[in-house]
Amino acid sequence: MAFILKHRVTNITFYLYSYGFNMNQNLHFYIFVFLFSFFCINCEKEKCLNCPEDLEPGRRDYIWTVDTLKANPWDLFYLFSLWGSSPTDIWATGSGGASDVTLWHYDGVSWTRDLSCLSSNMMCVFGFAQNDVWACDAPGGGVYHYNGTQWTNVYKYKDTGTLLGLNNIWGDAPNNIYAVGAIDFLNGDYKGVILHFNGSSWSYLSIPEYRVGFTSIKRGMLESDKYYLSAVCFESTGDTNKIFELDDTVLKEIYSGQDRTSINEMAGRIYHCIDKKIYKYHDNLLTIWKDFSSTKHLGRIWGRSELDFFTVSTDGLTHYDGTDLVTLFPTKSFINNIAVFEKDIFVLCDNKIIIHGKLK
C-alpha cells in the first residue's frame, strides 16, 4: 500500500505543477482531497461488490402454482435441466423413451412439447436470449442451437468406436461456450472432455487426461476469468466427486472426496457446495462461507444474491434471507433444477412437476 501511495503522490505532484498550483501552499491540501476522493470511490465499489449486509433480504411472500407435464399415457420421460430468458420463455430438457417428450417450452401460459425430436437424452439446456438457446445430449454427443424459430444440430460426435456424452453446456458470452462430459471407450475406461465454441465452430480443449466424467462448468464473471468444473470418478468402492479449476487449458484439481459436490453461480460469483457446506475459492484455498450441517440442507443453491437464494432440503424448497433457512414449498418430489428471475421462480421436480412461485 505504501508503494502505491508513493507513486500516486508523485503523479499528483506532477499534475498540480502542470496546472500552475502553488506547491508550497496548496500541495498537501490537494493531495488530501484527491486521496480522500480516491478511497471513497474505491470503498464504494467494494461496498457494492463485497458487502452483502448492504443488500436487501429476499422476500418470501410467494404465490405458488403447480403444473404437471403430460404427454401420451404410455410416454415415459424425466426432466432435469431448466433455463429461461424470462418468465414467459423457459425451456426444460431431459430423458425419455422417445425424442418427442424430452424438450418442453413454457410461453408464460402453458407448457408444451417441442416436437423437433432432437434426442431421447437431452441432458442440459442453456442460453443467452430468446433466439439464442443451446442444448446437448448423451450419449449421442450432439450440440443443438435454437435461433428463435427452429432447433439445429450444430455438432455431432462421429467416432463410431467410442461414445461421447455431454452432460452440461454453459457460456459467459455467445462466442464463448463450453460443453463438458466424457468419452466412453466401451472397455470400462473413459476420460473427461471439454468442448469449446468460439462463435463459429466447436473444438476440443487440449487438456490432461483425467478418468472422470465432467458434470458441469461455470465461471464467476465478477470475480475471475477462471472456470470451475464438477466431475465424478466412478469406482467400485464408491464414486469420487471432484472439483477442478480451468485456467485456459490448464486443469487443477482443488477438491476430491466422496461428499456430494456442485458448482453454483449466483450474481456473478461461484459457490462450491460440498455436502452441507458452501465454500468460496480464493488464493488457492476453499474456505467455508456457510455451514448448514445442522439443517436439512442437501446442497446446491440458486439465487439473486447472498441474502436471497434457494436451496434443496429433505422438506422441499427452502430459502435463505441472510438470517435463516425456511421451507417455502414443502414437497417430497426430488428437485432437479431451478430458474430464478426478478419476481418469479420455477422449480423443476421429478414426476414431471414444475412449481411456479411469484412474488406478491
Residue with cell 449486509: 53
Rounded to an integer, what distance in angstroms lies between the CA atom of residue 232 and that of residue 234?
A: 6
- Mean pLDDT over 1-9 rounds to 31
- Mean pLDDT over 320-338 rounds to 96
Q: What is the pLDDT of residues 37-71, one digit of tens each?
A: 444 444 444 444 445 557 899 999 999 999 999 98
- Mean pLDDT over 317-332 rounds to 97
- Percentage above 90 pLDDT, the chain: 79
pLDDT at 29 over 50: no
- Say which range, 44-58, 72-86, 259-273, has the weakest mean pLDDT: 44-58
Give the contacts of 124 (CB within 8 A, at least 6 positions apart). Answer: 81, 93, 135, 136, 166, 167, 168, 169
| Spatial contact of 276 and 297, defined as CB atoms under 8 Å apart | yes
CA 340 to chain centre: 12
Rounded to an integer, what distance in angstroms lies between the CA atom of residue 91 and that of residue 136?
A: 13
* Model pLDDT, residue 51: 54
Q: pLDDT-derived band of residue 8, with 50, 70 and 90 as boundaries?
A: very low
- Say which range, 49-53, 104-108, 251-255, has the weakest mean pLDDT: 49-53
φ/ψ of residue 319, rounded to 5: -135, 140
- Mean pLDDT over 225-241 rounds to 94
Mean pLDDT over each residue of the chain, to the nearest integer: 87
pLDDT at 186 over 50: yes
* Model pLDDT, residue 286: 97
* Model pLDDT, residue 73: 82
| Spatial contact of 277 and 259, defined as CB atoms under 8 Å apart | no
pLDDT at 337 over 50: yes
Give the 3-state secondary structure of residue 161: coil
Domains of the chain: 2-50 (no CATH), 54-359 (2.130.10.10)
For 192-212, give one letter per residue: b (16+ CB within 10 A) or e. bbbbbbeeeeeeeeebeebeb
| Spatial contact of 156 and 147, defined as CB atoms under 8 Å apart | no
The dihedral through the CA atoms of 53, 59, 60, 64 has a sign that is: negative
Q: What is the pLDDT of residues 267-308, one digit of tens each?
A: 999 999 999 999 999 999 999 999 999 999 999 999 999 999
- Say which range, 44-53, 129-138, 228-237, has the weakest mean pLDDT: 44-53
* Model pLDDT, residue 55: 85
Output the pTM of the full model.
Answer: 0.84
Rounded to an integer, what distance in angstroms lies between the CA atom of residue 260 and that of residue 156?
A: 31
- Mean pLDDT over 326-345 rounds to 97
| Spatial contact of 95 and 77, defined as CB atoms under 8 Å apart | yes
Q: Which three cell numbers stand for residue 70?
A: 403430460
Q: What is the pLDDT of residues 187-229, one digit of tens each?
A: 999 999 999 999 999 999 999 999 999 999 999 999 999 999 9
